[in-house]
């Protein structure tokens, strides 16, 4: 059997991706789920919080492939901020350990994306400006 028979093509992967208008709703739902889980007793241990935010960020990259790579950790940072400020409403202090775990989980999911892009740039793969519809005049 040929290995190429099992490798998905780019057009197959694009067809399987969610339509762009769905991204705002999906990101909101994912953010609320991660926020709710981060406020639950399940996310008290350090490793559990790291894995929660890693999984949420990685899932966002997988489910929303047409979102700019820097936008996903930006939204994840807002979820981290909300998960740390929410307990302040009931009089609890912000935990530096929880902030570290949350940020580490986001960074672990985000770092490979940016490292891969850095490798492309170092190899000379520089895309021309104006490739997005929003950048065209």
pLDDT in tens, 67-113: 888 999 999 999 999 999 998 988 889 999 999 999 999 999 999 99
Question: How much is the pLDDT for 36?
Answer: 94
Angstrom distance (rounded) from CA 56 to CA 27: 10
Q: What is the pLDDT of residues 25-51, one digit of tens each?
A: 898 999 999 999 999 999 999 999 999
Does residue 128 register a pLDDT over 60?
yes
CB count, 10 Å around CB of 30?
Answer: 19
Closest CA to 37 of 112, 108, 100, 98: 98
């Amino acid at each position: 059997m040929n290995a190429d028979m099992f490798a998905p093509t780019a057009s197959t992967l694009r067809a399987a991706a969610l339509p762009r208008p769905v991204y705002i709703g999906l990101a909101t739902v994912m953010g609320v789920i991660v926020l709710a889980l981060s406020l639950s007793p399940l996310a008290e241990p350090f490793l559990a919080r790291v894995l929660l935010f890693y999984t949420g960020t990685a899932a966002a990259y997988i489910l929303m492939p047409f979102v700019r790579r820097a936008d996903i950790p930006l939204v994840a940072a807002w979820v981290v901020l909300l998960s740390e400020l929410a307990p302040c409403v009931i009089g609890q202090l912000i935990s530096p350990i929880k902030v570290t775990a949350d940020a580490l989980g986001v960074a672990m999911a985000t770092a490979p994306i940016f490292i891969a892009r850095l490798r492309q740039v170092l190899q000379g793969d520089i895309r021309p400006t104006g490739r997005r519809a929003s950048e065209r005049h």
